[in-house]
Each structure stands twice: as structure tokens, then as C-alpha cells.
Amino acid sequence: MLLRDIWKSYTLSGVAVSVLKGVNMTAYRGEVVGIHGPSGSGKTTLLKIIAGLERPDKGEVIVDGYNLNMLDEYGLALYRNNVCSYIPQDFGIVDAMTTYENVEIPLLLAGVSAEVRRRKVVEMLDYVGLRDKASMRVGRLSGGEKQRVAIARALVTTPSVLLADEPTASLDWTNAIKVAELFLNIKKDFGTTVIIVTHDARLLEYVDRSMNLFDGSLKQISSPKL
Ligand SMILES: Nc1ncnc2c1ncn2[C@@H]1O[C@H](COP(=O)(O)OP(=O)(O)O)[C@@H](O)[C@H]1O
Ligand SMILES: [Mg+2]
């Protein structure tokens, strides 16, 4: 995954505020990258741009040979459902639906047959350890379990890139470590590139490479372990 000179500003009450000021980054296949930055530094904005949910004012995002500037809204929807999964900070899962139904959503959107859907959803629920909660409404699950539902749903389409926005923000430290370890397993088992943004510097001990988002650009704070 390649980010080349990404710029983004927002206009608030007529005043333009630059959030990203020339972000460059390469993430290798099967690497877990942690991006640390304080609240308001532009972490969510950056992930949304990589996910194709927001357009940069300038710059290029290239993932798996797709240059997002070349994709229209329909192309971006396919990209999000097949190539690059984004897990929002609030998980983005549907509380009124069951664990199973939440994980099935991307496969329904992709037009996958009922039989293959069933096999893949069960496989994912086993993988994240939620098979026994398959028929429970996710509104009743704990924070750690909700995060795992969100991860299973993001992973069920076997994307090349998985983006996680503050995945441990609402978890205690024991559950936070479990989630970090799950991302490392995902990279090993599926070859997924995982990008985690966090304001919790402790999480950086668990990633292959860490970067700092500061004053609108990214600085590497550790070399790749690969
Ligand atoms: N849609 C928007 N409209 C206006 N300002 C925004 C919008 N989204 C984010 N911002 C501003 O951009 C800055 C970065 O926000 P964000 O990317 O959410 O940072 P972080 O995730 O690091 O906390 C903040 O000052 C925020 O208020
Ligand atoms: Mg944020």
C-alpha cells in the first residue's frame, strides 16, 4: 500500500484547517503498522482516505494496483468490500442483528452464494472465538466481543488491507493486548496488511513498525521488523 503526498483540509466557519500536509507512507504486504498520534492529529481522516470514504484534496492512494483517484463511487464501494476493510472506532456493527448476521453482511453485498456464506461466516466466527455467540444480538456482547465481531466482519472477504481505528480505545488493557495479538495472527494466517491508528503508545510494542502522525505528516519511529 502506497500513500503519496496526501493533503486534506476542512473548512470550519469559513476557516480552512489543514489536517494532513503531505503524508507519505509505504506499508508492505503482511505487515502490521501502528500509527500513533494525539487526539485531533488526523488519524481517522487518514484511515478514511485510505478506505476510500473521503477524498484527499491532493495526493494518491494506491492499494493492490488500484489508484483510488481512478475509481468512481461504485468502484470505491467494491474496493471497500473486497480490497480494503475499515473498522471504525465505534465498531460500526448493527446492535439489533446477531453476531452471525453482522459477519455475513459483506458477503451478502458481494453476492456470495448461501452455502459459501455459511462456510465463511462459521470459519470467521471460529477464528475470532465467537462461534458460541453466533445467534446472540451484538448489542448484548461485551466491548471486547464487539471488537471481535467487527474484526470478523472486516476479514470475512479476505481483504489485502485491514484498517483499524483506535481498536483498543474502549477496552481494558488485558483485552487490548488480546486484540493486538489477534491482529498479529491475522497477518500471519491471511497475509493481510494491518494498519492500526491509536493514541495509546503502549500498543506500539505489538506492531511490526510504528509511525507518528504529527503536524500533518508521518514520521517513522521504528524500522520494519520484517
Ligand atoms: N468532517 C469534518 N469537518 C470538519 N472538520 C473535521 C472533520 N473531520 C475531522 N475534522 C477535524 O480534523 C481534525 C482531525 O480529526 P481526526 O482525523 O478525527 O483526528 P483523530 O482521529 O486523530 O482524533 C480535527 O481537528 C477535527 O475536528
Ligand atoms: Mg479518530
From first to last of its 226 residues, what are the pLDDT tens digits of the chain?
999 999 999 998 999 999 999 999 999 999 999 999 999 999 999 999 999 999 999 999 999 999 999 999 999 999 999 999 999 999 999 999 999 999 999 999 999 999 999 999 999 999 999 999 999 999 999 999 999 999 999 999 999 999 999 999 989 999 999 999 999 999 999 999 999 999 988 899 999 999 999 999 999 887 655 5
Indicate where the chain has its CATH 3.40.50.300 domain(s): 1-83+160-226
- Residue whose C-alpha cell is 492512494: 61
Phi, psi of 76 (to 5 degrees): -70, -35
pLDDT of res. 224:
59
What residues line ligand 1, using a CB cutoff of 6 Å? 10, 12, 19, 37, 39-45
C-alpha cell at 38: 494525539
Per-residue pLDDT, 13: 92
Do residues 147 and 92 touch, judged by C-beta distance below 8 A? no
According to DSSP, the residues that pair with 12 across neighbouring strands are 15
The Cα 54–Cα 156 span in angstroms is 23
pLDDT, position 202: 87
Tell how far the Cα of 42 is from the centroid of ligand 1, in angstroms. Answer: 6
pLDDT at 220: 84
Helix, strand, or coil here: 213? strand
- Residue 116, number of CB atoms within 10 A of its CB: 11
* Residues 1-83+160-226, CATH architecture: 3-Layer(aba) Sandwich (3.40)
Beta-ladder partners of 35: 197, 211
The environment of the single-atom ion ligand 2, i.e. residues with CB closer than 5 A, is 43-44
The pair phi, psi for residue 32, each rounded to 5°, is -105, 115
Distance (Å) from CA 46 to ligand 2 centroid: 9
Of 15, 19, 21, 48, best ligand 1 pocket probe by most atoms within 8 Å of the beta carbon:
19
61: left (phi over 0), alpha (psi -120 to 50) or beta: beta
Distance 40 CA to ligand 1 centre (A): 6
Q: Which residue minimizes the CA distance to atom 24 of ligand 1?
A: 40
Total-model pTM: 0.95
Pocket test for ligand 1, best of 9, 21, 36, 45 (most atoms within 8 A of CB): 45
Please identify which residue in the block is written with the cell numbers 492499494: 63
Find cell 513498525 and name the residue: 209
Query: Residue 185 has what pLDDT?
Result: 97
